Amino acid sequence: MIKEIFQLNKKYKNAWLWTDNKPARSLGVGFEASIHEYILKWYNTKDASTYPLMKDISLLYVEQYPSDVIACNDAGLSAMLTDDLRTAKKYFAQGYELDPADMLLLRNLARVCYHLGETESAYSYYSILAESEDPDDREYAEQILSTYFNQDE
């Protein structure tokens, strides 16, 4: 059903109508936020059987909204959960390119690079994260650098 809704969303260019065919202009929550909420609910179940569906929907989401950093993170996360690390990296990198200040995307990008064996890239991303204004991000990155890269920051 959700896949068909994506087809309709694409067909009508994100212009939704009420049942009387009048434009739905101020719904309060947009299509993108609603899709993200569905994906988040599947993720929060921690039920691995939902991850392939989560991935399918996330890929449709990022296809229709390629400049949405949340869509990029959802696509990357769902790819990572299905052990598709190359696809995860693609979408985390896409999101990070769109918003270099998004530390969650940077954290995810660093992690997936590390698991792909791309240690120089991972080190670089964790080093950037270690310079974050957020003390939790800094502490996390410093711990990773110290533990996995033998670097005391």
Report which DSSP code applies to 63. H
Helix (H, G, I), strand (E, B), or coil: what is residue 116? coil
Taking the C-alpha atoms of 72, 123, 129 and 54 in order, what is their torsion angle to the nearest 10 degrees? 20
The answer for residues whose C-beta is within 8 angstroms of residue 103's C-beta and 6 or more apart is 129, 132, 134, 137
pLDDT tens per residue across span 80-105: 999 999 999 999 999 999 999 999 99
Please identify which residue in the block is written with the tokens 């101020």. 26
Q: How far apart are CA 135 and CA 114, in angstroms?
A: 22
pTM for the full predicted model: 0.82
pLDDT tens per residue across span 101-152: 999 999 999 999 999 999 999 999 999 999 999 999 999 999 999 999 986 5
